[in-house]
Protein backbone atom coordinates (compact mmCIF):
# COMPACT_ATOMS: atom_id res chain seq x y z
CA UNK A 1 0.00 0.00 0.00
CA UNK A 2 2.84 2.43 0.84
CA UNK A 3 4.52 1.70 -2.48
CA UNK A 4 1.27 2.41 -4.34
CA UNK A 5 0.84 5.79 -2.60
CA UNK A 6 4.45 6.79 -3.37
CA UNK A 7 4.07 5.89 -7.03
CA UNK A 8 0.79 7.77 -7.30
CA UNK A 9 2.30 10.82 -5.59
CA UNK A 10 5.21 10.87 -8.07
CA UNK A 11 2.72 10.54 -10.96
CA UNK A 12 0.61 13.45 -9.68
CA UNK A 13 3.73 15.60 -9.24
CA UNK A 14 4.82 14.80 -12.78
CA UNK A 15 1.45 15.78 -14.22
CA UNK A 16 1.46 19.02 -12.21
CA UNK A 17 4.96 19.87 -13.42
CA UNK A 18 3.97 19.28 -17.03
CA UNK A 19 0.92 21.54 -16.62
CA UNK A 20 3.08 24.27 -15.05
CA UNK A 21 5.59 24.04 -17.91
CA UNK A 22 2.81 24.27 -20.48
CA UNK A 23 1.24 27.25 -18.71
CA UNK A 24 4.57 29.06 -18.65
CA UNK A 25 4.99 28.52 -22.37
CA UNK A 26 1.50 29.81 -23.12
CA UNK A 27 2.12 32.80 -20.83
CA UNK A 28 5.32 33.74 -22.66
CA UNK A 29 3.54 33.54 -26.01
CA UNK A 30 0.68 35.64 -24.66
CA UNK A 31 3.07 38.37 -23.57
CA UNK A 32 4.60 38.58 -27.04
CA UNK A 33 1.15 38.62 -28.67
CA UNK A 34 -0.21 41.19 -26.22
CA UNK A 35 2.61 43.62 -26.87
CA UNK A 36 2.35 43.06 -30.59
CA UNK A 37 5.85 41.79 -31.23
CA UNK A 38 9.01 43.72 -31.93
CA UNK A 39 7.55 46.34 -34.26
CA UNK A 40 5.07 47.71 -31.70
CA UNK A 41 7.60 47.71 -28.86
CA UNK A 42 10.05 49.69 -31.02
CA UNK A 43 8.25 52.99 -30.36
CA UNK A 44 9.93 53.93 -27.08
CA UNK A 45 10.13 57.51 -25.89
CA UNK A 46 13.33 59.34 -26.76
CA UNK A 47 15.54 60.39 -23.84
CA UNK A 48 16.81 63.95 -24.30
CA UNK A 49 19.00 64.04 -21.19
CA UNK A 50 20.07 67.58 -20.35
CA UNK A 51 18.45 68.83 -23.57
CA UNK A 52 15.04 68.18 -21.96
CA UNK A 53 14.65 71.73 -20.67
CA UNK A 54 15.47 73.36 -24.02
CA UNK A 55 12.74 74.66 -26.32
CA UNK A 56 15.40 75.79 -28.81
CA UNK A 57 18.90 74.51 -29.53
CA UNK A 58 21.13 75.57 -32.41
CA UNK A 59 24.66 75.12 -33.68
CA UNK A 60 25.41 78.42 -35.42
CA UNK A 61 23.07 80.72 -33.53
CA UNK A 62 19.43 81.78 -33.16
CA UNK A 63 17.89 84.66 -35.14
CA UNK A 64 14.48 86.14 -34.35
CA UNK A 65 12.35 88.79 -36.02
CA UNK A 66 9.27 90.09 -34.22
CA UNK A 67 7.63 89.08 -30.96
CA UNK A 68 8.49 85.40 -30.63
CA UNK A 69 7.83 83.72 -27.29
CA UNK A 70 9.95 80.82 -26.04
CA UNK A 71 8.76 78.72 -23.08
CA UNK A 72 11.84 76.66 -22.32
CA UNK A 73 15.57 77.24 -22.32
CA UNK A 74 17.28 78.62 -25.43
CA UNK A 75 20.79 77.44 -26.27
CA UNK A 76 23.39 77.56 -29.01
CA UNK A 77 26.78 75.88 -29.37
CA UNK A 78 29.46 76.40 -30.64
CA UNK A 79 28.36 79.80 -32.02
CA UNK A 80 27.19 82.22 -29.33
CA UNK A 81 25.07 84.42 -31.63
CA UNK A 82 21.52 85.11 -30.36
CA UNK A 83 19.80 88.04 -32.06
CA UNK A 84 16.28 89.45 -31.82
CA UNK A 85 15.82 88.90 -28.05
CA UNK A 86 14.25 91.36 -27.35
CA UNK A 87 11.76 91.87 -28.89
CA UNK A 88 11.62 88.06 -28.62
CA UNK A 89 11.13 86.75 -25.08
CA UNK A 90 12.49 83.72 -23.24
CA UNK A 91 9.92 83.37 -20.48
CA UNK A 92 10.94 82.91 -16.83
CA UNK A 93 12.12 80.68 -15.25
CA UNK A 94 13.91 79.71 -18.47
CA UNK A 95 17.32 80.99 -19.52
CA UNK A 96 19.52 81.59 -22.56
CA UNK A 97 22.77 79.59 -22.74
CA UNK A 98 25.13 80.85 -25.45
CA UNK A 99 28.23 78.76 -26.21
CA UNK A 100 28.75 77.73 -22.59
CA UNK A 101 29.16 74.35 -20.92
CA UNK A 102 25.40 73.99 -20.37
CA UNK A 103 24.67 74.43 -24.07
CA UNK A 104 27.51 72.04 -24.89
CA UNK A 105 26.10 69.34 -22.61
CA UNK A 106 22.64 69.76 -24.13
CA UNK A 107 24.04 69.49 -27.66
CA UNK A 108 25.90 66.29 -26.76
CA UNK A 109 22.71 64.79 -25.33
CA UNK A 110 20.82 65.91 -28.44
CA UNK A 111 23.27 63.85 -30.52
CA UNK A 112 22.51 60.78 -28.41
CA UNK A 113 18.75 61.38 -28.65
CA UNK A 114 18.94 61.86 -32.41
CA UNK A 115 20.70 58.52 -32.81
CA UNK A 116 18.12 56.79 -30.65
CA UNK A 117 15.24 58.21 -32.70
CA UNK A 118 16.96 57.28 -35.97
CA UNK A 119 17.54 53.74 -34.74
CA UNK A 120 13.94 53.05 -33.71
CA UNK A 121 12.13 50.49 -35.89
CA UNK A 122 10.74 48.72 -37.64
CA UNK A 123 9.09 51.77 -39.25
CA UNK A 124 5.78 51.74 -41.07
CA UNK A 125 6.05 53.19 -44.59
CA UNK A 126 3.80 56.15 -45.36
CA UNK A 127 3.42 58.54 -48.28
CA UNK A 128 5.79 61.49 -48.48
CA UNK A 129 2.93 63.92 -47.82
CA UNK A 130 1.35 63.03 -44.48
CA UNK A 131 -1.75 65.12 -45.16
CA UNK A 132 -5.06 63.45 -44.30
CA UNK A 133 -3.56 60.56 -42.36
CA UNK A 134 -4.76 59.42 -38.95
CA UNK A 135 -1.99 57.48 -37.26
CA UNK A 136 -1.70 55.55 -34.02
CA UNK A 137 1.47 55.25 -31.91
CA UNK A 138 4.49 53.87 -33.76
CA UNK A 139 7.49 54.64 -35.97
CA UNK A 140 6.93 56.10 -39.44
CA UNK A 141 8.94 57.05 -42.53
CA UNK A 142 8.55 57.00 -46.31
CA UNK A 143 9.32 53.78 -48.17
CA UNK A 144 12.63 55.27 -49.34
CA UNK A 145 13.39 57.17 -46.10
CA UNK A 146 12.96 60.33 -48.19
CA UNK A 147 11.67 63.81 -47.41
CA UNK A 148 8.50 64.26 -45.35
CA UNK A 149 5.98 66.98 -46.16
CA UNK A 150 2.68 68.17 -44.74
CA UNK A 151 0.27 70.42 -46.63
CA UNK A 152 -2.91 69.84 -44.59
CA UNK A 153 -3.90 68.08 -41.36
CA UNK A 154 -2.10 65.11 -39.82
CA UNK A 155 -3.96 63.48 -36.91
CA UNK A 156 -2.08 61.55 -34.24
CA UNK A 157 -4.46 59.37 -32.20
CA UNK A 158 -3.03 58.30 -28.84
CA UNK A 159 -5.98 55.98 -28.15
CA UNK A 160 -6.37 57.25 -24.59
CA UNK A 161 -2.75 56.47 -23.68
CA UNK A 162 -0.85 59.51 -22.37
CA UNK A 163 2.43 57.61 -22.82
CA UNK A 164 1.80 56.76 -26.49
CA UNK A 165 4.91 57.49 -28.59
CA UNK A 166 5.06 58.72 -32.20
CA UNK A 167 8.39 58.85 -34.05
CA UNK A 168 8.80 60.17 -37.60
CA UNK A 169 12.09 59.46 -39.37
CA UNK A 170 13.55 60.97 -42.51
CA UNK A 171 17.07 60.84 -43.88
CA UNK A 172 16.22 64.03 -45.78
CA UNK A 173 14.11 67.10 -44.95
CA UNK A 174 10.83 67.98 -43.25
CA UNK A 175 8.64 70.71 -44.77
CA UNK A 176 5.20 71.82 -43.58
CA UNK A 177 3.10 74.23 -45.65
CA UNK A 178 1.06 77.32 -44.67
CA UNK A 179 -2.12 75.24 -44.16
CA UNK A 180 -0.48 72.40 -42.26
CA UNK A 181 -1.69 71.29 -38.83
CA UNK A 182 -0.47 68.45 -36.61
CA UNK A 183 -3.40 67.46 -34.39
CA UNK A 184 -2.77 65.27 -31.33
CA UNK A 185 -5.98 63.68 -30.01
CA UNK A 186 -7.36 61.28 -27.39
CA UNK A 187 -5.01 61.97 -24.51
CA UNK A 188 -1.66 62.13 -26.30
CA UNK A 189 1.28 64.19 -25.05
CA UNK A 190 3.41 66.46 -27.28
CA UNK A 191 6.35 65.30 -25.14
CA UNK A 192 6.13 61.88 -26.82
CA UNK A 193 6.10 63.02 -30.46
CA UNK A 194 9.51 63.13 -32.18
CA UNK A 195 10.67 64.15 -35.65
CA UNK A 196 14.15 62.92 -36.63
CA UNK A 197 15.26 64.93 -39.67
CA UNK A 198 18.39 64.00 -41.63
CA UNK A 199 18.99 67.51 -43.02
CA UNK A 200 16.88 70.63 -42.33
CA UNK A 201 13.30 71.38 -41.30
CA UNK A 202 11.01 74.19 -42.46
CA UNK A 203 7.80 74.72 -40.48
CA UNK A 204 5.30 77.15 -41.98
CA UNK A 205 1.91 75.96 -40.71
CA UNK A 206 -0.04 77.54 -37.87
CA UNK A 207 0.16 74.54 -35.52
CA UNK A 208 2.81 71.88 -35.04
CA UNK A 209 3.30 69.24 -32.34
CA UNK A 210 6.43 67.44 -31.16
CA UNK A 211 10.19 67.69 -30.79
CA UNK A 212 12.00 68.35 -34.06
CA UNK A 213 15.60 67.09 -34.06
CA UNK A 214 17.18 68.28 -37.31
CA UNK A 215 20.74 67.46 -38.29
CA UNK A 216 21.34 70.92 -39.78
CA UNK A 217 18.96 73.88 -39.41
CA UNK A 218 15.33 74.71 -38.55
CA UNK A 219 13.41 77.62 -40.08
CA UNK A 220 9.96 78.75 -38.96
CA UNK A 221 7.57 80.91 -40.95
CA UNK A 222 5.59 83.75 -39.42
CA UNK A 223 3.15 83.00 -36.60
CA UNK A 224 3.91 79.29 -36.16
CA UNK A 225 3.01 77.67 -32.82
CA UNK A 226 5.03 74.62 -31.81
CA UNK A 227 3.90 72.55 -28.83
CA UNK A 228 7.28 70.92 -28.29
CA UNK A 229 10.86 71.77 -29.19
CA UNK A 230 12.99 72.80 -32.18
CA UNK A 231 16.49 71.39 -31.78
CA UNK A 232 19.03 71.93 -34.58
CA UNK A 233 22.38 70.18 -34.81
CA UNK A 234 25.03 72.02 -36.81
CA UNK A 235 23.00 74.89 -38.27
CA UNK A 236 20.87 77.79 -37.08
CA UNK A 237 17.32 78.36 -35.88
CA UNK A 238 15.28 81.18 -37.45
CA UNK A 239 12.06 82.58 -35.98
CA UNK A 240 9.48 85.17 -37.10
CA UNK A 241 6.96 86.06 -34.37
CA UNK A 242 6.55 82.40 -33.42
CA UNK A 243 5.59 80.56 -30.23
CA UNK A 244 7.71 77.62 -29.03
CA UNK A 245 6.20 76.02 -25.94
CA UNK A 246 8.04 73.13 -24.31
CA UNK A 247 6.84 73.89 -20.77
CA UNK A 248 4.55 70.84 -20.56
CA UNK A 249 7.62 68.63 -21.00
CA UNK A 250 9.89 70.39 -18.49
CA UNK A 251 10.07 69.80 -14.74
CA UNK A 252 11.80 72.05 -12.24
CA UNK A 253 14.33 69.27 -11.59
CA UNK A 254 15.34 69.24 -15.27
CA UNK A 255 16.26 72.92 -15.36
CA UNK A 256 20.04 73.47 -15.61
CA UNK A 257 21.96 75.79 -13.32
CA UNK A 258 23.53 78.74 -15.14
CA UNK A 259 27.30 78.52 -15.09
CA UNK A 260 30.14 80.78 -16.12
CA UNK A 261 32.37 77.85 -17.08
CA UNK A 262 33.71 78.53 -20.60
CA UNK A 263 32.53 75.93 -23.09
CA UNK A 264 36.03 75.74 -24.53
CA UNK A 265 37.26 74.02 -21.38
CA UNK A 266 34.58 71.33 -21.54
CA UNK A 267 34.57 68.14 -23.55
CA UNK A 268 34.34 68.44 -27.33
CA UNK A 269 30.84 68.08 -28.74
CA UNK A 270 29.89 65.66 -31.48
CA UNK A 271 27.62 66.98 -34.24
CA UNK A 272 24.29 65.38 -34.95
CA UNK A 273 24.64 62.77 -37.73
CA UNK A 274 23.75 64.08 -41.19
CA UNK A 275 21.91 60.99 -42.39
CA UNK A 276 18.88 59.03 -41.28
CA UNK A 277 21.04 56.16 -40.05
CA UNK A 278 21.65 56.14 -36.35
CA UNK A 279 22.66 54.05 -33.40
CA UNK A 280 20.60 51.14 -32.30
CA UNK A 281 18.16 51.20 -29.40
CA UNK A 282 16.41 48.40 -27.53
CA UNK A 283 13.33 47.15 -29.40
CA UNK A 284 11.97 45.39 -26.34
CA UNK A 285 11.64 46.96 -22.91
CA UNK A 286 13.94 45.57 -20.27
CA UNK A 287 10.99 44.49 -18.14
CA UNK A 288 9.55 42.36 -20.94
CA UNK A 289 12.96 40.78 -21.58
CA UNK A 290 13.37 39.92 -17.92
CA UNK A 291 9.85 38.46 -17.78
CA UNK A 292 10.33 36.31 -20.86
CA UNK A 293 13.79 35.21 -19.71
CA UNK A 294 12.46 34.28 -16.29
CA UNK A 295 9.61 32.27 -17.79
CA UNK A 296 11.98 30.44 -20.10
CA UNK A 297 14.40 29.64 -17.26
CA UNK A 298 11.62 28.46 -14.95
CA UNK A 299 10.19 26.30 -17.73
CA UNK A 300 13.62 24.75 -18.29
CA UNK A 301 14.00 24.04 -14.58
CA UNK A 302 10.59 22.37 -14.45
CA UNK A 303 11.35 20.26 -17.53
CA UNK A 304 14.74 19.24 -16.13
CA UNK A 305 13.07 18.22 -12.91
CA UNK A 306 10.65 15.97 -14.81
CA UNK A 307 13.49 14.30 -16.70
CA UNK A 308 15.53 13.77 -13.55
CA UNK A 309 12.55 12.18 -11.77
CA UNK A 310 12.04 9.83 -14.67
CA UNK A 311 15.69 8.83 -14.74
CA UNK A 312 16.23 8.73 -11.01
CA UNK A 313 12.89 7.95 -9.31
CA UNK A 314 12.87 8.43 -5.57
CA UNK A 315 12.49 5.36 -3.36
Asked if the structure places residue 107 within a domain, the reply is yes
Asked if the structure places residue 271 within a domain, the reply is no
Contact yes or no for 237/218 (Cβ under 8 A): yes
Same domain, 82 and 166: yes
Same domain, 140 and 202: yes
Same domain, 57 and 34: no
User: pLDDT higher for 111 or 31?
Assistant: 111
Asked if the structure places residue 270 within a domain, the reply is no
Asked if the structure places residue 44 within a domain, the reply is no
In order of 41, 154, 252, 285, the CA distances from 288 in angstroms are: 10, 32, 31, 5
- Beta-carbon contacts of 195 under 8 Å, excluding residues fewer than 6 positions away, are 148, 168, 170, 174, 201, 210, 211, 212, 213, 214
DSSP string covering 209-252, please?
Answer: EEEEEESS-EEEEET-EEEEEEEESSS-EEEES-EEE-GGG--G
What is the model's pLDDT at position 20? 40
Q: How many domains does the chain have?
A: 2
User: pLDDT higher for 133 or 269?
Assistant: 133
The closest of 95, 152, 106 to 129, measured between CA atoms, is 152
Computed over its alpha carbons, how large is the radius of gyration of the chain? 26
Same domain, 108 and 186: yes
- Beta-carbon contacts of 100 under 8 Å, excluding residues fewer than 6 positions away, are 77, 259, 260, 261, 262, 263
Asked if the structure places residue 145 within a domain, the reply is yes
Cα separation, 181 vs 104, whole angstroms: 32
Same domain, 238 and 142: yes
The closest of 147, 185, 202, 191 to 167, measured between CA atoms, is 191
Helix residue spans in 77-223 (DSSP H): 101-119
Asked if the structure places residue 278 within a domain, the reply is no
Asked if the structure places residue 274 within a domain, the reply is no
What is the model's pLDDT at position 77? 98
DSSP string covering 6-45, please?
Answer: HHHHHHHHHHHHHHHHHHHHHHHHHHHHHHTHHHHHT-PP
Same domain, 205 and 74: yes
Same domain, 35 and 169: no
Q: Each residue of 11-45: pLDDT tens digit? A: 554 554 454 444 434 343 433 333 333 333 447 99
Same domain, 236 and 290: no
Global pTM reads 0.73
pLDDT at 148 over 70: yes
Same domain, 31 and 145: no
Q: Please compute, for residue 229, the number of CA atoms within 13 A of its CA located in the half-sphere on the CB side.
A: 34
| Residue 79 DSSP label | -
In order of 3, 170, 208, 300, 315, the CA distances from 310 in angstroms are: 16, 58, 66, 15, 12
Asked if the structure places residue 260 within a domain, the reply is yes
The closest of 2, 4, 22 to 12, measured between CA atoms, is 4
What is the model's pLDDT at position 18? 52
Parent domain of 30: 2-39+284-311
Same domain, 171 and 301: no
Same domain, 27 and 88: no
What is the model's pLDDT at position 235? 98
Same domain, 97 and 221: yes
**Per-residue pLDDT band at 253 (split at 50, 70, 90):** confident
Q: Each residue of 185-236: pLDDT tens digit? A: 999 999 999 999 999 999 999 999 999 999 999 999 999 999 999 999 999 9
Amino acid sequence: MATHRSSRSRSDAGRLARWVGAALGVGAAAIVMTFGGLAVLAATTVSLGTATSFAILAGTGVTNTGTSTVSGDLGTYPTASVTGFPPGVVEAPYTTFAADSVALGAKNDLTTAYKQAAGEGSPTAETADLTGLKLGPGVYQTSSDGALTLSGTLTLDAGGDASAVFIFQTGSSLTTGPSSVVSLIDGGSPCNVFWQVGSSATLDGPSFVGTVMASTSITLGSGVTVQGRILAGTGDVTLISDTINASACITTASLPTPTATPAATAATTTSVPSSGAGGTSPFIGAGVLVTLGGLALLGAVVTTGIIRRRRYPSV
